[in-house]
């Protein structure tokens, strides 16, 4: 596996570990984390334990690991929060930043340090920037699911929404991400069959995100609201 580091917005870094093609996943895959460098640096997605050394070394290229203040994630899953305790051990001042359901479902029992818990819609300043927590239960999956929205650059850290297969993506693209994402969804049916999808995706679209920073594949740069509404339309027909 190889890990690359790219700045996709001012002081926002995409850390991407590529998994080559295999019989189980012929196109290959990527696992992405996102680092916001500010007075209180924040990492979104802790990643899996087995890739922690790769991701840690990538973060260290940008800033000292012990300066990390927040580690956040969408929902309880190994690629979201598997290495959370490893990050807390490496960064003595870091703490989890999560939603109320995250705390109840996993963080309170499994994490070695007390979390900062955000209510739905609550924002927290991390320096010059603020991030807002948005509850997204079962979108795309997990009753504890939630996303972060960075308000200055209008970057929506959208977890598995718009996940794309493949191990060789540009860091960000203005091209098609919905088509590859639909191929991925049909391969693995990882979306919950929920009536909440349309309402939740419209709420996210109304933020008018300029960047959709997905955990798998390329980040999308452009009219994020349009893409999310197109996704909602596709899901409604499936």
Identify the sign of the CA torsion 38, 41, 46, 52. Answer: positive
Closest C-alpha to 31, from 42, 44, 40: 44
Q: For the chain, how many structural domains are there in total?
A: 1
- Write out pLDDT tens, residues 180-233: 999 999 988 899 988 889 999 999 999 999 999 999 999 999 999 999 999 999
Q: Which token pair is 220?
A: 């999308």
Average pLDDT over residues 138-142: 96
**Residue 193 has what pLDDT?**
83
**Domain range spanning residue 84?**
2-237
Structural element, H or E, at residue 198:
helix 197-205
CATH number of 55's domain: 3.60.15.10
**Residue 221 has what pLDDT?**
98
222 φ/ψ angles, rounded to the nearest 5 degrees: 150, -145
Provide the 8-state DSSP code for 58. H
Q: What is the dihedral of CA 47, 196, 171, 45, to 10 degrees?
A: -20
pTM beyond 0.95: the answer is yes
Work out the percent of the chain whose per-residue pLDDT is above 70.
100
Which residue carries 């795309």 as its tokens? Answer: 140
Q: Which token pair is 70?
A: 């927040």
**Residue 195 has what pLDDT?**
87
Average pLDDT over residues 169-188: 96
Q: Are 135 and 101 in contact (CB under 8 A)?
A: yes
Question: Which residues lie closer than 8 Å to 13 by C-beta, 6 or more apart?
Answer: 5, 6, 7, 34, 35, 37, 58, 62
> Residue 138 — very low, low, confident or very high, per pLDDT cuts 50/70/90?
very high
- Write out pLDDT tens, residues 10-52: 999 999 999 999 998 889 999 999 999 999 999 999 999 999 9
- Write out pLDDT tens, residues 199-214: 999 999 999 999 999 9
Residue 234 in this model has a pLDDT that exceeds 90 = yes
Strand order, beta sheet including 172-173: 123-125, 130-135, 146-150, 155-159, 211-214, 219-221, 172-173
**Residue 207 has what pLDDT?**
98
Question: Which residues lie closer than 8 Å to 127 by C-beta, 6 or more apart?
Answer: 38, 39, 40
Residue 238 in this model has a pLDDT that exceeds 90 = no
Q: Are 96 and 113 in contact (CB under 8 A)?
A: yes
Q: Are 72 and 98 in contact (CB under 8 A)?
A: yes
Query: Taking all residues of the chain, what is their mean pLDDT, rounded to a whole number?
Result: 97
> Residue 77 — very low, low, confident or very high, per pLDDT cuts 50/70/90?
very high
CA distances from 84 to 49, 97, 208 (A): 8, 11, 30
Average pLDDT over residues 66-89: 98
Q: Quote the CA–CA distance of 188 and 165 in Å, as a whole number.
A: 11
> Residue 171 — very low, low, confident or very high, per pLDDT cuts 50/70/90?
very high
């Amino acid at each position: 596996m190889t890990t690359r580091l790219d700045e996709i917005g001012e002081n926002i870094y995409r850390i991407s570990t590529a998994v080559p093609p295999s019989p189980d996943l012929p196109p290959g895959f990527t696992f992405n984390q996102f680092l916001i460098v500010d007075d209180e640096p924040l990492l979104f997605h802790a990643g899996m334990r087995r890739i922690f050394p790769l991701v840690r070394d990538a973060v260290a290229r940008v800033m000292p690991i012990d300066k990390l203040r927040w580690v956040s994630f969408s929902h309880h899953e190994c690629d979201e929060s598997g290495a959370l305790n490893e990050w807390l051990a490496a960064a003595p001042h870091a703490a989890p930043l999560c939603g109320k359901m995250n705390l109840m479902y996993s963080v309170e029992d499994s994490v070695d340090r007390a979390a900062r818990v955000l209510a739905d819609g609550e924002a927290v300043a991390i320096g010059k920037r603020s991030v807002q927590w948005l509850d997204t239960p079962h979108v795309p999956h997990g009753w504890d699911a939630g996303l972060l929205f960075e308000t200055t650059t209008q970057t929506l850290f959208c977890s598995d929404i718009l996940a794309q297969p493949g191990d060789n993506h540009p860091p960000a693209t203005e091209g098609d991400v919905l088509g590859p994402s639909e191929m991925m969804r049909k391969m693995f049916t990882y979306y919950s069959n929920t009536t909440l999808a349309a309402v939740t995706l419209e709420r996210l679209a109304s933020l008018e995100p300029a960047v959709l920073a997905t955990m798998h594949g390329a980040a999308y740069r452009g009219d994020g609201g349009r893409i999310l509404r197109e996704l909602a339309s596709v899901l409604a027909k499936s």
